[in-house]
């Protein structure tokens, strides 16, 4: 079995095949990217826990309750991603990406909406990368996470009184 690699060690594969190359990325590069995704899941858990408790006012009651559910779903995503990192021979990271806060409810919801958009873009790319490596089961697990993330995006946009942002297809020209 391969030795466990940290995010730093896996990411230091000198950019080999990291999202954008024509060929499949290496397992080490995928570990690094999945660790970035895991940090983003930790960020989402923290943000949803905090935001669900500090959003005030009748207009935010429904979304506050929804954010509590999102926190639990993000924990499930983190567990799935950590398991995949371990399967690939890596060591899951333990540090979240920075969580932004604000005194304004709309700002917090906007932060979440932007984070969900980034997460969706990254997971779409991850599905392609997994398939290129022949990791089809992993790609399916990430597709399942994508379904939840897109639901989160819709809920946040609705709470902001907006249509859900259109997520452009990425990498379709790569085949």
pLDDT digits (tens, 9 = 90+) for 14-30: 344 444 455 789 999 99
Q: What is the pLDDT of residue 170?
A: 44
In the predicted structure, residue 149 carries a pLDDT above the cut 60 = yes
Q: What is the pLDDT of residue 10?
A: 42
Higher pLDDT: 18 or 119? It is 119
Say how far apart CA 107 and CA 160 lie, in whole Å. Answer: 10
Q: What is the mean pLDDT of residues 90-111?
A: 97
**Whole-prediction pTM value?**
0.84
Say how far apart CA 49 and CA 68 lie, in whole Å. Answer: 6
Domains annotated for the chain, with CATH where assigned, are: 25-163 (1.20.1260.10)
Q: What is the pLDDT of residue 100?
A: 97
Given its phi and psi angles, is residue 89 left (phi above 0), alpha (psi -120 to 50 degrees) or beta? Answer: left
């Amino acid at each position: 079995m391969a030795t466990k690699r940290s995010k730093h060690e896996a990411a230091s594969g000198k950019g080999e095949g990291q999202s954008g190359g024509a060929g499949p990325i290496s397992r080490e590069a995928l570990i690094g990217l999945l660790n970035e995704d895991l940090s983003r899941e930790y960020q989402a858990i923290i943000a949803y826990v905090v935001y669900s408790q500090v959003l005030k006012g009748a207009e935010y009651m429904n979304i506050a309750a929804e954010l509590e559910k999102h926190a639990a779903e993000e924990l499930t995503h983190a567990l799935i991603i950590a398991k995949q990192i371990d399967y690939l021979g890596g060591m899951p990271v333990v540090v979240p990406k920075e969580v932004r806060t604000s005194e304004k409810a709309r700002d917090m919801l906007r932060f979440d909406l932007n984070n969900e958009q980034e997460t969706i873009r990254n997971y779409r790319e991850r599905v392609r990368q997994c398939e290129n490596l022949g990791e089809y089961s992993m790609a399916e697990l990430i597709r399942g996470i994508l379904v939840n993330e897109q639901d989160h995006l819709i809920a946040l946009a609705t709470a902001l009184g907006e249509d859900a942002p259109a997520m452009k297809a990425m990498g379709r020209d790569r085949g």
